Amino acid sequence: DIQMTQSPSSLSASVGDRVTITCRASQGIRNDLGWYQQKPGKAPKRLIYAASSLQSGVPSRFSGSGSGTEFTLTISSLQPEDFATYYCLQHNSYPGFGGGTKVEIK
């Protein structure tokens, strides 16, 4: 099975900060990676698919990059509504999620 290591597991940031979250795959997965945002009590929401394609309707401050084994989700200027938990999902073999990153208010 492909393991996804997501870091950090949590971070504190202020509104307006640039935030970067990383996922590393245990083996190459080309660009078969998505990013999801989850708020408390809600289902996850897709932000990015195929590593760097922005889901329709998602603000352009969100971006994804990477290929192979290392991937990043960047929020260019953190907004109040972005405080949430973020997960990566690999789909190269049977799907698997990263452990999540909780973005909290500093």
Partner 1 sequence: QVQLVQSGAEVKKPGASVKVSCKASGYTFTSYDINWVRQATGQGLEWMGWMNPNSGNTGYAQKFQGRVTMTRNTSISTAYMELSSLRSEDTAVYYCASGYWFDPWGQGTLVTVSS
Based on the shown chain and the rule CB under 8 A, indicate whether residue 87 belongs to the binding site for partner 1. yes
Cβ proximity of 36 and 87 under 8 Å: yes
Residue type, 46: R
Q: Which stretch binds partner 1 (CB under 8 A): 18-26, 49-57, 63-71, 75-83?
A: 49-57
Task: Compute CA distances 4 → 25, 63, 86, whole Å.
Answer: 5, 19, 13
- Exactly one of 46, 67, 68, 72 binds partner 1 (CB under 8 A); that residue is 46
Q: Which residues of this protein are in contact with partner 1, per CB under 8 A?
A: 1, 34, 36, 38, 43-46, 49-50, 55, 87, 89, 91, 94-100
